Amino acid sequence: MDQPCLIVDDISHPGVRMLTLNRITKANALHEELYARLKHAFIEVNDLPLIRAVILQSASSKIFCAGADVNAFAELPLKEAQIKRRQQLVDTLCSMLTCHKPVIAALQGKVIGAGAMLALAADAIFTSPSVTLSFPEIHLAMPSPIGIAILEKRANLHHVHRLIQLGEILGTEELANAFLIDRLCALKPSWMSAFSMPACPWTQRLTE
Amino acid sequence: MDECLQYASVPLDPEAYRVNKQWLNRGIMAEILDAQSHLNQLA
């Protein structure tokens, strides 16, 4: 039986919905099904009073998400496929931004393009030291105003320019300096171990 | 200490959190929809 591209776990950590991107063979590229499952998971949690927060992570320590799957809607004309992919991205981002619960992105590895937009739409961003974040669209001659809209929420013009206009890849130190991440964590087998550190009051509140 | 204070600032009341988040994100939602509309026009 095929593994689901998104693992939804409301049981392992009471009060916390764990969403795990699990399309590893495609570097967690966002395709129609993954977008739909993410959107559903963020909307559904609004009606689950026992869930107090959502953590979004990857099943891979090497990559969080490679961005939009350019093969999605490949059967359609190019422009039409782009519009449909864009609609799915926007719908998913809006479901995160309107999710009633705190959404925490727990990042490891590469965070790219639409995957970076997904991560940056979270309320809080925790990263391992291995994280790099980039918007390669400019290298593909693609404008990225949606990326700019997301980035402007957190970063100043200098970092927006470097990421979007120059297509630079930023590591954790620079991301922290740019206030693009909230906390740098040691790499742990389970992200919840990072949230369980006594010095982190949020954990206590999430799990109380 | 700063880190602890940061996390301590997370509101506990679900309804207050929801309202604050809606207000915090109202601008970015509008920007995203504008950007989408702009890109679709370019297409």
Interface A-B: count of C-beta contacts within 8 A: 71
Residues 3-32 of B with CB under 8 A from A: 3-4, 6-8, 10, 12, 14, 17-18, 21-22, 25, 27-29, 31-32
* Mean predicted lDDT score pLDDT of chain B: 77
The nearest alpha carbon in chain B to A53 belongs to: B14
User: Comparing B34 with A196, which gets the higher pLDDT?
Assistant: B34
Contact predicate A108/A132, CB 8 Å = no
Averaged pLDDT of chain A: 87
State whether B29 and A146 contact (CB < 8 Å).
Answer: no
User: Which one of B21, B22, B39 has the shortest CB-CB distance to A86?
Assistant: B39
Domain ranges of chain A: 6-207
Q: Which of B7, B21, B27 sits opposite A202 (nearest CB)?
A: B7
Tens digits of residue pLDDT in A54-89: 999 999 999 999 999 988 888 999 889 999 999 999
pLDDT of residue A3: 86
Domain A6-207: which topology?
2-enoyl-CoA Hydratase; Chain A, domain 1 (3.90.226)
This model of the complex carries an ipTM of: 0.83
Which pTM value belongs to this model?
Answer: 0.86
CB contact under 8 A, A98 and B35: no
Nearest CA in chain B to A83: B40
Residue B18: its chain A contacts at CB < 8 A? 100
Verify whether the Cβ–Cβ distance B40 to A86 is below 8 Å: yes
Q: Note whether A173 and A129 are within 8 A (CB).
A: no
Q: What does the pLDDT read at residue A114?
A: 97
Burial A33-55 (b: 16+ CB within 10 A, else e): ebbebbbebbbebeeeeebbbbb
Can you tell me the mean pLDDT for B17-37?
94
Tell me whether residues A200 and B7 touch, CB distance under 8 A: yes
pLDDT at A203 exceeding the cut of 70: no
Asked if B14 and A98 come within 8 Å (Cβ–Cβ), the reply is no
Determine the distance in angstroms separating the CA of A154 from the nearest CA of chain B, rounded to an integer. 10
State yes or no: pLDDT of A108 exceeds 70.
yes
Confidence check: pLDDT of B4 > 70: no
